Amino acid sequence: QQWATHARDGIKRSGYAESKVYLQLTRGTAPRDHVFPASVKPTAVMTVREMRPVEPALQASGIAVMTMDDWRWGRCDIKSVNLLPNVMARQKAKQAGAFEALFIRNGQVTEGAVSNVMIVKAGRVLTAPEGEQILSGVTRTIMLELIRKEGLPAEERFVTLDELLHADEVFLTGTTVEVLPVIRVDGRQVGSGRPGPVTQKLQAVFQRFVG
């Protein structure tokens, strides 16, 4: 309740039409040591910034992504400030002309640098399961609920790189990307090369939910 009050106050004071709230917690400040004192008071920082959604043109036309090895640590489910691998992956993707980097671990798709990944095959939506290899985003959870409410089959299991490359449709989910169609993976066309019918339907469903 306390954080909700702070968030509402920050949003009101910001004056933004749409805002995004970021909350960061640490164990506190203490002399540099790997053994942390027990009596230190935690530190909390909350920032409110303007929410700038993905350009409507990209939502309508779709984006390109590239894959790369997932060399992050073993607890990707922990939302820590250790984002160097994600930053480097996203930068590499940008330099290659792609919007996002998708991580591949042992031949399986885990997630994007700043997003979760879903594919559509034969009308079924597939996405990596919750666990130590992904950060399960709020938008991912909401979308799975909405997908099932729409009567579409959804399965949480790891998708292979080959399945990704031969998917009928691919899309990303995330707070800042919402539901974003992918039309090219590593330079290869996804499906028809345009946002597919399932993705477009889910974009509309999500907009109704947040609207």
Backbone angles phi, psi at 169, to 5 degrees: -145, 155
CA nearest neighbour of 172 among 125, 108, 124: 125
Which residue bears the tokens 């729409």?
Answer: 150
Neighbours of 17 (CB within 10 A): 7
Torsion over CA of 121, 122, 123 and 126, rounded to 10 degrees? Answer: -30
Q: Is 121 noted as a catalytic residue in this protein?
A: no
CB atoms within 10 A of CB 38: 5
Tell me which of 12, 20, 41, 79 is the catalytic residue.
Answer: 79
Which residues are identified as catalytic? 79
